[in-house]
A = this chain, B = another copy of it.
Amino acid sequence: MTSESTGPGSVRPGGRTARVRSAVLRAAGDALAEHGLAGLDLADVARRAEVGRTTVYRRWGTPASLVADLLADMAEQSLPRTESGSLLGDLRANARLVRRTLADPRQGALFKAVLAAATCDPQTAAALHRFYEVRVAEWEPCVRQAVERGELPAATDTREVIRAVSAPLYYRLLTTGDPLDEAAADRAAEAAAAAARAGAFVPPTA
């Protein structure tokens, strides 16, 4: 154990290896969206990806590890952020983007499955946390601008405002059967903006 053991795919990451990873991640996403986490069978993923079972077991080993890699891949694909000039406009754009994603049959199911996977394994949870840190950091500037414009209290926890927009949408996705319509997204944005203006996201003086 003089040198850390480098897993398969790290020494020759080009060509075939990259192709295999791509195919497997795509297949894993499909499988998760279709059958959920419980139905995530590595043998099935290998079949879908037209890759040897052995390869999948060797490189990822467990469903949790595969999902963690999938999350790392998802974190890299960032969506463009629009700017509307007003806090409510920006938050609404964010809320609608999140809603569209969660309401989409494939993406919504995928996110549910990924959240489920994160509850089962610490490493997957860490990957999920990174994913949302990236997403929140992308949108946080629009709240910061609102603070600079004087729309919000100076000490506002800007990241928490962004999270407050997503929270009701995710909560609805998981705990009710109600559809995620655009009205829900707009309500989430309005509620977050109103709460922020009222100073609900100003930490109690440290």
Contact = CB atoms under 8 A, between A and B. Distances in A.
Contacts of A37: 37-38, 116, 119-120
With most chain B CB atoms within 10 A of its CB, the pick from A117, A133, A191, A197 is A191
Contact of A195 (B132, B177, B192): B192
Interface string A131-156: 01100000000000000000000000
Contact of A194 (B163, B171, B195): B195
A56 interface: no
Interface of A: 36-39, 63-64, 112-113, 115-121, 125-126, 128-129, 132-133, 160, 163-164, 166-168, 170-172, 174-177, 183, 187, 190-192, 194-195, 197-201, 203-204
A70 B176 CA distance: 18
